[in-house]
């Protein structure tokens, strides 16, 4: 079967987490169904921002949420237990969230290679803004000052679900994110590492459309794909 290296970009703007999750699941299940029938499959990159929300991975420890349910309720903040990997994280306005719903076989990627390539895309996006990021051993995501004890700070979280080599969930890049919301959790279960954003590192607000343009370019290069905007 011919591989489909086209990635359709679906930009949902500011979207409720539960709504985006349901949207992902529909696409994910459709790809799985086609794959099981031996039919050609498609690849989608869903981009969005979310209202304030905390999400836990399937093995996430709720003890890493440091506030009570009533505190969340009083502030209109949602919290969801999900089926992705990883522990707890925060999503909110000013953060670029990406959900690659891909058939990995279209790109001849193993699961490990796929995660590595997603990290590579994000490292290269951040580099466009003059910041050097790296991977941190035993911790997914993209980090500044990786390996320098006491200085490591995460700028991109990654947590995915991959079944039958079809992916969902994804990454969250802190662009102009209000970082105080991370102080109410142990981000990704870590108590000794920081969180940062492009805005904090550059000391200025960053144009989200510029970040998206770099992201699309890097997906195109790393995955050797054709990017189609507002694909349906």
Phi, psi of 191 (to 5 degrees): -105, -10
Comparing CA positions, the residue from 168, 154, 152 lying closest to residue 198 is: 154
CB atoms within 10 A of CB 212: 18
In sequence order, what are the beta bridge partners of 229? 9
Locate tokens 């490591």: which residue?
152
62 exposure class (CB count in 10 Å sphere: 0-12, 13-18, 19+): exposed
What is residue 151's DSSP assignment? T
Locate tokens 């700070």: which residue?
153
By annotation, the residues acting in catalysis are 188
Rounded to 10 degrees, what is the CA torsion of 118, 20, 50, 74?
Answer: -130
Query: Which structure tokens are listed for 190?
Result: 């870590």
């Amino acid at each position: 079967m011919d591989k489909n290296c086209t990635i359709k970009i679906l930009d949902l703007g500011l979207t409720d987490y539960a709504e985006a999750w349901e949207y992902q699941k529909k696409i994910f299940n459709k790809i799985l169904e086609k794959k099981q029938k031996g039919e050609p499959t498609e690849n989608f990159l869903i981009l969005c921002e979310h209202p304030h929300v905390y999400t836990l991975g399937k093995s996430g420890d709720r003890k890493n949420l440091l506030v009570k349910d009533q505190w969340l309720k009083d502030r209109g903040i949602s919290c969801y237990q999900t089926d992705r990997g990883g522990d707890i994280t925060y999503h909110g306005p000013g953060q670029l969230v990406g959900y690659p719903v891909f058939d990995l076989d279209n790109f001849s990627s193993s699961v490990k290679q796929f995660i590595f390539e997603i990290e590579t895309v994000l490292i290269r996006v951040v580099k466009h803004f003059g910041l050097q990021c790296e991977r941190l051993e035993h911790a997914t995501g993209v980090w500044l000052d990786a390996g320098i004890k006491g200085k490591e700070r995460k700028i991109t979280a990654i947590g995915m679900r991959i079944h039958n080599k079809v992916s969902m969930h994804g990454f969250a890049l802190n662009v102009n994110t209000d970082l105080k919301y991370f102080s109410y959790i142990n981000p990704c279960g870590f108590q000794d590492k920081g969180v940062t954003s492009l805005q904090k590192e550059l000391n200025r607000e960053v144009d989200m459309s510029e970040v998206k343009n770099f992201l699309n370019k890097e997906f195109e290069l790393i995955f050797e794909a054709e990017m189609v905007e507002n694909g349906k």
